Amino acid sequence: MTPFDPLETRSQDARCADHALALPRVVAAALQAPALAAHLGQQDAATIMDRAALARLPVLRKSDLSGAQAAHPPFGGLSARPLAEFDHVFQSPGPIYEPGRVAPDWWRLGRFLHASGIGRGDVVQNCFSYHLVPAGMMFENAARAVGATVLPAGTGQTELQVIAARDIGSTAYAGTPDFLKIILEKADEMGVALQITKAVVGGGALFPSLRDFYAMRGITCRQCYATADLGNVAYETDAMDGMVVDEGVIVEIVRPGTGEPVPEGEVGEVVVTTLNTDYPLIRFATGDLSAVLPGTSACGRTNMRIKGWMGRADQTTKIKGMFVRPEQVAALVAHHEEIHRARVIATRDGEKDVMTVRIETRASNPALYEASVLSTLKLRGEVELVPPGSLPNDGLVIEDLRRYD
């Protein structure tokens, strides 16, 4: 493996030492942004030097971004820099506005393209959208960072995509996982042979059957986990042993509805801190579920790995006409030190909703928790006690088993 830069192969001690220098600068930049300063409260940036200190800060949610931006467009006081200092401004559904720069690898996706074997001499057919949203520019920026040539193809117009790929000799594809299949099938229909042998995808699930389809066509397909707000978070490598976390972020996995980090291997919500002082998102909750994998990748990169996308953390469910939220379940657990974990299960009995609260504890009397269930969840439900370790490790704290078909 040839690393993208020395950061990928540094020791964990060196990484922690670098974080100790970077985190205070990022937190200080956040405290200069009005909305983030109000969110973070009174903080001494110089003391935020490691994960333990970071975990004491509040979690920032997408609703916080959209609320602040609605009040103070476009960035809602989430950056101390004025709009004029950025090269681009994008709009994502919400609407939420994100800044961008043409500075080399500003979104850090070059690391992903390099790990996927894309570099000088490649022609990347960039089929991410260039319309309002940042994805197209994110991958164009990445391709330039590795020295590749870019065809800014965007979405749709499949026949023209095939003709352009043939005429200029595209060797790599960037886009959503399924659109390349559409292009390849159109090429077959037209009797056109394409030279694409590499694919970097995001923005949707890469199902094993689709990856196998590409492999049978001689195309190596790798996926990343990136967002419009954060840029690259993690990415696959040739080792195919999970996703390596990007060097420009710090990733935590927390219990849904809280900011409390979970033990290694336990499924929880992905929370990300960017080390970018231009747009310093501190403990930004993605709403996605994942888990930390033990050890380091066989590819030689030394940063932590995550399993990748494992579902959504926002499991808010309406039961008996009342919303039950993950943070309420977390409050129930926090109220009793002997409770390890809890899960709310919604079912139906005829035409009635039924709520069961399954609690991991060594206690044996369900009546001990009935009052707490009512006070935290605002609903009465059946309490079931199970031994510690009994609940599945899937990140769910609210499970809706009702069927509406």
DSSP symbols for 276-301: -TTS---SEEEEEEE-EESS--TTS-
Alpha carbon separation from 130 to 134, 138, 172, 201, 309 (Å, rounded): 7, 9, 18, 15, 24
φ and ψ at 73, to 5 degrees?
-70, 155
Dihedral of CA 62/63/65/69: which sign?
A: positive
- Tens digits of pLDDT across the chain (405 residues): 789 999 999 999 999 999 999 999 999 999 999 999 999 999 999 999 999 999 999 999 888 888 889 888 899 888 888 999 999 999 887 788 999 999 889 999 999 999 999 999 999 999 999 999 999 999 999 999 999 999 999 998 999 999 999 999 999 999 999 899 999 999 999 999 999 999 999 988 788 889 999 999 999 999 999 999 999 999 999 999 999 999 999 999 998 878 999 999 999 999 999 999 999 999 999 988 899 999 999 999 999 999 988 877 778 888 887 778 888 998 999 999 999 999 999 998 876 788 999 999 999 999 999 999 999 998 889 999 999 999 998 888 999 898 755
pLDDT of res. 396? 87
Q: Is the peptide bond before 95 cis (omega within 30 degrees of 0)?
A: yes
Which amino acid type is present at position 119? Answer: G
User: Which of these, 157, 190, 151, lies nearest to 173 by C-alpha position?
Assistant: 151
Q: Which residues contact 183 (CB under 8 A, 6 or more apart)?
A: 127, 158, 161, 162, 165, 173, 194
How many other β-carbons are positioned within 10 Å of the β-carbon of residue 56? 11
Q: Which residues contact 99 (CB under 8 A, 6 or more apart)?
A: 75, 79, 81, 83, 86, 88, 89, 90, 278, 279
Pairing verdict, β 231-235 and 220-227? antiparallel
Q: Which residues contact 346 (CB under 8 A, 6 or more apart)?
A: 317, 319, 324, 353, 354, 355, 398, 399, 400, 401, 402
Q: Is the peptide bond before 58 cis (omega within 30 degrees of 0)?
A: no
What distance lies between CA 309 and its chain's CA centroid? 7
Pairing verdict, β 123-126 and 149-152? parallel
User: What span, in angstroms and rounded, lies between the C-alpha atoms of 34 and 356?
Assistant: 43
3-state secondary structure of 15: helix
pLDDT of res. 404? 57
User: What span, in angstroms and rounded, lies between the C-alpha atoms of 9 and 360?
Assistant: 40
Structure tokens at 342: 């809890």
Tens digit of each residue's pLDDT (9 = 90 or more) over 184-240: 999 999 999 999 999 999 988 788 889 999 999 999 999 999 999 999 999 999 999
User: Which of these, 134, 110, 131, lies nearest to 122 by C-alpha position?
Assistant: 110
Q: Which residues contact 43 (CB under 8 A, 6 or more apart)?
A: 27, 31, 57
Ordered alpha helix ranges (H), 6-87: 12-32, 34-40, 51-54, 62-71
Three-point CA angle 142, 148, 152, nearest 5°: 70
First to last CA, the chain: 51
- Decide: 86 and 136 in contact? Cβ < 8 Å: no
Query: Residue 16: left (phi > 0), alpha (psi -120 to 50), or beta?
Result: alpha
pLDDT of res. 136? 96
User: What span, in angstroms and rounded, lies between the C-alpha atoms of 105 and 298?
Assistant: 25
Which amino acid type is present at position 301? Answer: R
What distance lies between CA 398 and its chain's CA centroid? 20
